[in-house]
Amino acid sequence: MKFKQDFFEQLQGFYSQVAPLPLSNPHWLGWSQDAAALIGVDKPDDHLLQQLSGNAQHPQACYYAQVYSGHQFGGYTPRLGDGRSIILGEAQGPTGSWDLALKGGGPTPYSRHGDGRAVMRSAVREFLVSEALASLHVPTTRALAVIGSDLPVWRESQETAAITVRLAKSHIRFGHFEYFCYSEKGAKDKLTQLVNFTLTQHYPYLSQDAAGYKAWFYEVVKASAKMIAHWQSVGFAHGVMNTDNMSILGDSFDFGPFAFLDTFKENFICNHSDPEGRYAFGEQPSVGLWNLQRLAQALTPLIPSDDLIAALNTYQSELVGHYLHLMRGKLGLSEFNFNSDKLTQAAKTEQDKQDLQLIGRFTGLLESEQLDYTNSLRQFAYLDPSSVHSRLRDDMRQRDNFDSWYQDYQFRVGALVELEAWQQARAVENPKYILRNYLAQEAIIAIEDEGDTSKLEQLHVLLQRPFDEQPEHEALAKRPPDWANGLIMSCSS
């Protein structure tokens, strides 16, 4: 592993140097070879284990925790920072530069009353979800590994500490800009420095002047909208969309009590600590905008308000446009007409509106029928739209409602030239396997009770190919058993 230290060398005053605290009796719980390949690492050997558990130093690493602030559940916290994540630098690999961080690596100057540790269950969940989202083509940070230990930590009860080794194209969050706008004297210099650094590293084609800053904010709006469109399309609820958990690159980031929908429910809340449902599944698109507005506010020293507002005004159409694109792929609503010059803008807008309605009526049916989101969408991979018979229909109790929707759907899809190719295309848009909470929970319990990592390994491998049939794992596509219904996570991790 080779490191560069651009953030560390160029942004002094944006972090505190801190060494990780050694984790006792470290052992690999999980390893992602896909993530390892990103940074050119071959295998999980003992030397690497010692380095990633804070027991040995990497000669090129600089250990630091970043400072930032953020809006948490609507209120501004002026100083947060990495309370338990220690960055080693930017690992250099065949796919470019990846920040490597030890989440749960020990206390930092930003730990406040926390112990700087992560419990095994939350480290395993972050590992699994990072890699599962990546395989679903959702923009996300990655996880190289999860490392267990025998170090006791205290939450509601005694648990053991673990580390998620996170890879991120950047750890810069909306909250970074908020911190350097509101907290520091001479803020504008630092804010400018941070924006310029972000541009140099991630938007090298943009100029570092007023025009470039403006263009950059449009890009941030677009990337965030796209990420959330992906979440809505795969049924992913992040759970803690505070501005300190929003990556500036629009990658899914900092996972806590997240969940994938089982039964489709618009106002599904996955976070036990969010009884009001601020971050409910259906709220994510509007929270995304609210967060971008907080970022825009922090950028007012650099970018004129009119430009910021104009960029924010593109959010909705970016999000809806991308959601529509993804959902059309899932339902098999062709897009080929849209490249035709013959279609006027007005006709496109009307088609968009009708398709959104068709999609909304479908998810409405799933909600009223309490059907599983993923499994219902997967049915499109087996559906023959020219036939009135389908598993989808069999699953419905109110068949009349379904039939009236289905007639409109059939009309929209029209005659298919190649049914098999159409179905195959649906199979690569609609995953068969997702990271259901109960599956993660079973893997965690096996580790807790028996030290057995085989379920975690099996789940991780399964979710690397979520669109493939994998008949030997058919059972893992099932909706949750009774014991796991209503399984809901808290922020405590």
Residues that bind Mg ion (CB under 5 A): 245, 254
The nearer residue to Mg ion, 53 or 245, going by C-beta atoms, is: 245
The nearer residue to ligand AMP, 81 or 148, going by C-beta atoms, is: 81
Q: Which residue has the tokens 């005053």?
A: 13
Q: Count Cβ neighbours within 10 Å for each residue of 402-431 and write b for 16 or more, e otherwise.
A: beebbeebeebbeeeeeeeebbebbbebbb
Centre a 10 Å sphere on the Cβ of residue 24 and count the other Cβ atoms it contains. Answer: 13
Q: Which residue has the tokens 């997702």?
A: 434
- The structure tokens listed for 291 are 């967060």
- The structure tokens listed for 119 are 């419990």
The nearer residue to ligand AMP, 224 or 245, going by C-beta atoms, is: 245
Min CB(490)–ligand AMP separation in Å: 11
Q: In degrees rounded to 5, what are phi and psi of residue 426?
A: -70, -35
- Cβ contacts of residue 320 below 8 Å, gap of 6+? 229, 352, 356
Which of Mg ion, ligand AMP, none does 114 bind, CB closer than 5 to 8 A by kind? ligand AMP
Positive or negative, the Cα torsion across 197, 203, 208, 209? negative
- The structure tokens listed for 186 are 């001479």
The nearer residue to Mg ion, 231 or 467, going by C-beta atoms, is: 231
Which of ligand AMP, Mg ion, none does 491 bind, CB closer than 5 to 8 A by kind? ligand AMP
Min CB(238)–ligand AMP separation in Å: 11
Min CB(256)–Mg ion separation in Å: 8
The nearer residue to ligand AMP, 116 or 329, going by C-beta atoms, is: 116
Which of ligand AMP, Mg ion, none does 462 bind, CB closer than 5 to 8 A by kind? none
Min CB(280)–ligand AMP separation in Å: 17
Query: For residues 432 and 477, is the Cβ–Cβ distance under 8 A?
Result: yes
Whether 307 sits among the annotated catalytic residues: the reply is no
Which of ligand AMP, Mg ion, none does 436 bind, CB closer than 5 to 8 A by kind? none
Q: What is the dihedral of CA 144, 149, 154, 158, to 10 degrees?
A: 120
Given 99, 244, 251, 307, the catalytic residue? 244
Which of ligand AMP, Mg ion, none does 170 bind, CB closer than 5 to 8 A by kind? none
Please give the residue ranges that form the binding site for ligand AMP (CB under 6 A): 80-84, 110-111, 114-117, 240, 245, 254, 256, 491
Min CB(84)–ligand AMP separation in Å: 4
- Of 130, 149, 140, 128, nearest in space to 52 by CA: 149
Centre a 10 Å sphere on the Cβ of residue 135 and count the other Cβ atoms it contains. Answer: 19
Q: Indicate which residues carry an active-site annotation.
A: 244
